[in-house]
């Protein structure tokens, strides 16, 4: 059923009556009558009642483009969709498109500006060896005075990156010369308006579920470009990220894509991707004294000099204060001298090595990593690299007859299987605690495990690296202390026991829950046969997303408080994706993906209860910790 209305008239009437706090949304915080008379151009009337349906109506009005008379059709079946159906459809048909970018003539404007840095001149940095990209971007920007084209040096060093800190810009990505178009990519959302490293894997999970083939391939092609031209998959494609990589999910991306679209994808494409994966593994992760630690395991190790330029002004004042006072300088004066290397401070250099490495880990920030990140071989990173090794073994055996030539060297599946097994032995030696029945990060400097319960210690379930006995112990010992009413929190509350009460909260710790943790843990539990537990955790997470969307105009933000089940949180950096008008502006990339993945796993019975918004504890009747 559809109703034709005058868009501006109905929109104004609806907001005037229902949006009593004037934020261009209809939520449970508004004090309107929750009953609106929708009047068609023919005079026909239809009553819409309830916050959820009124918010849906607002979204439908906002999304429809009016004709020459300013009129639109409202399709009532969209207004009255069940919550899970509507959220999923909005993600599939609207949000992915809103978050899609291309670095071409039409799309450059959307991405090149960066609200995280304030500069008058916009810059596009192009790799030294990409001559075709240089020609293309010089041509499309030749008449634009607001964008400067900068060619990167052949060798990119930390010193060079420091020298352009005050000249930030976007980094070029993959461009198809034959089609004369840039490869598409999906940004996380909000102020994160560039292609981010590990976000992209989880986003791709959602894209594949929604059969967004070209978008999913574009993400991988852009990663191929980054490894080829920048030497690594970047934290994100901004100039200040040139010395930082991200958690490694590349092999998972290529295999999941290829195995879905194998019949439509040349084997040569997979071959190129495998070569690039081996290149990344060897040149990014296996370099001694950098990301390969002295215990044979791996660590995050982000090179760079001085203060990370993307942080807001004053972010590190509490760190610089003591040094500034000892030098009889203001914090600003000392920071400027340190940044310009007029003052050498090795203690600060080490602090910022750890700070950059935390950002490289994707977990910025958490008390698990603060001040020690570059000194620890972590459970999450080594689980991911085990998965790389097993993926390469699987791929070479299945698709390349167990022989693969890279850089004049032959690889077979046994080579990579042995690498993976060697890693398991080392992880069991350094990271596994048999008594506690859990994995812990290992401090190579102080030669001890870090006593901190983290969701990342469940990554071995996803990677399939632990034994059934270890999996059982993990589920019994770790899961209960990080499981909350509405999902898995970044850490246990107990792990924060020594953090001063007046210390700032860290967004990757308790009680905050993030999509990547949920997605990996669900799959990990399913890998080891914990189907009922996975269903419960999926339901708790989806209930929270659905309930917040129903009550708050469809909001899908970056993260949640999984103890309270709320997106309204007061923690560092705020909550990206929660600030919008009328319709969520694309939601948030990996949160969208977690919703689609969760629905793909959820039983029909639980999905019906989800649409009724039955509280998780009323279903599972289990006290959470």
Token pair listed for 103: 């670095």
Give the DSSP letter string of 555-593.
---S-EETTTTBS----TT--TT---SSS-SS--HHHHH
Is residue 154 annotated as a catalytic residue, yes or no? Answer: no
394 beta partners? none
* Centroid of chain to Cα 559: 10
Catalytic, 558? Answer yes
Q: How far apart are CA 26 and CA 265, in angstroms?
A: 45
Half-sphere exposure for 577 (CA within 13 Å, toward CB): 25
Structure tokens at 382: 């080594």
CA pair distance 144, 121, nearest whole angstrom: 11
Q: Phi first, then psi: what are they for 619, rounded to 5°? A: -90, -50
**C-alpha pair distances (Å), 103 with each of 148, 149, 178, 181, 585:** 14, 13, 16, 8, 20
Cα Rg of the chain, angstroms = 25
d(CA 217, CA 211): 11
What CA–CA distance (Å, rounded) separates 334 from 338?
A: 6
Residue among 391, 558, 561, 609 flagged as catalytic: 558
With left for phi above 0 and alpha for psi between -120 and 50, is residue 355 left, alpha or beta?
Answer: alpha
In a 10 Å sphere around its CB, with 0-12 CB exposed, 13-18 middle and 19+ buried, how is residue 291 labelled? buried
Nearest Cα to 508, choosing from 624, 369, 380? 369
Q: Rounded to an integer, what distance in angstroms lies between the CA atom of residue 261 and that of residue 267?
A: 11
| Reduced DSSP (H G I as helix, E B as strand, rest coil) percent helix, strand, coil of the chain, to 5 | 50, 10, 40
Point out the catalytic residue in the list 30, 130, 364, 453. Answer: 364
Tracing tokens 């991988």 back to the chain, one arrives at 220
Spatial separation of the C-alpha atoms in residues 108 and 97, rounded to whole Å:
16
Which residues carry out catalysis?
A: 364, 558
């Amino acid at each position: 059923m559809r109703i034709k209305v005058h868009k501006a008239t109905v929109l104004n009437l609806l907001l005037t009556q229902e949006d009593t706090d004037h934020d261009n949304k209809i939520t449970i915080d508004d004090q309107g009558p929750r009953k609106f008379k929708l009047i068609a151009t023919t005079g026909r009337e239809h009553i819409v009642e309830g916050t959820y349906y009124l918010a849906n109506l607002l979204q439908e009005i906002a999304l429809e483009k009016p004709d020459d008379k300013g009129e639109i059709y409202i399709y009532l079946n969209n207004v009255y969709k069940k919550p899970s159906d509507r959220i999923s459809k909005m993600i599939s048909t609207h949000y992915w498109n809103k978050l899609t970018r291309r670095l071409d003539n039409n799309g450059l404007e959307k991405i090149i500006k960066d609200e995280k840095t304030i500069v008058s001149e916009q810059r596009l940095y192009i790799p030294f060896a990409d001559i075709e990209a240089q020609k293309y971007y010089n041509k499309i920007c030749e008449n634009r005075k607001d964008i400067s084209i900068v060619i990167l040096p052949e060798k990119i060093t930390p010193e060079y990156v420091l020298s352009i800190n005050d000249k930030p810009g976007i980094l070029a990505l993959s461009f198809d010369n034959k089609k004369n178009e840039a490869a598409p990519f999906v940004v996380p959302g909000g102020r994160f308006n560039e292609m981010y490293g590990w976000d992209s894997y989880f986003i791709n999970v959602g894209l594949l579920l929604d059969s967004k083939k070209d978008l999913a391939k574009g993400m991988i092609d852009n990663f191929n470009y980054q490894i080829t031209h920048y030497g690594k998959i970047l934290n994100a494609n901004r100039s200040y990220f040139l010395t930082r990589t991200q958690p490694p999910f590349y092999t998972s991306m290529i295999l999941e894509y290829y195995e879905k679209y194998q019949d439509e994808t040349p084997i040569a494409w997979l071959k190129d991707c495998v070569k690039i994966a081996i290149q990344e593994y060897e040149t990014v992760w296996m370099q001694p004294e950098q990301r390969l630690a002295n215990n044979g395991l791996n660590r995050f190790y982000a090179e760079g000099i001085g203060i990370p330029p993307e942080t807001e002004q004053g972010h590190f004042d509490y760190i610089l204060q003591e040094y500034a006072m000892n030098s009889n300088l203001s914090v600003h004066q000392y920071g400027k001298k340190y940044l310009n290397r007029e003052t050498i401070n090795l203690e600060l250099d080490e602090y910022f090595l750890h700070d950059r490495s935390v950002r490289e880990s994707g977990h910025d920030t958490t008390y698990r990593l603060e001040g020690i990140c570059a000194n620890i071989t972590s459970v999450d990173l080594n689980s991911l690299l085990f998965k790389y090794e097993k993926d390469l073994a699987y791929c070479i055996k299945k698709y390349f007859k167990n022989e693969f030539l890279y850089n004049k060297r032959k690889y077979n599946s046994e080579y990579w299987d042995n690498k993976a097994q060697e890693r398991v032995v080392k992880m069991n030696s350094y990271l596994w605690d048999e008594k506690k029945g859990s994995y812990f990060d290992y401090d190579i400097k102080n030669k001890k495990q870090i006593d901190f319960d983290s969701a990342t210690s469940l990554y071995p379930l996803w990677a399939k690296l632990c034994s059934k006995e270890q999996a059982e112990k993990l589920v019994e010992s770790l899961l209960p202390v990080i499981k909350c009413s509405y999902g898995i929190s970044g850490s246990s509350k107990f792990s924060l026991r020594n953090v001063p009460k007046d210390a700032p909260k860290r967004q990757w710790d308790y009680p905050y829950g993030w999509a990547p943790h949920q997605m990996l843990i669900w799959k990990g539990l399913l890998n080891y046969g914990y189907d009922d537990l996975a269903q419960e955790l999926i339901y708790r997470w989806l209930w929270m997303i659905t309930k917040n969307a129903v009550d708050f105009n469809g909001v899908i933000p970056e993260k949640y408080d999984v103890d309270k089940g709320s997106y309204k949180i007061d923690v560092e950096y705020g909550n990206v994706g929660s600030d919008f008008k009328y319709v969520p502006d694309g939601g948030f990339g990996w949160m969208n993906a977690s919703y689609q993945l969760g629905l793909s796993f959820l039983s029909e019975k639980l999905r019906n209860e989800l649409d009724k918004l039955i509280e998780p504890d009323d279903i599972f009747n289990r006290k959470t910790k």
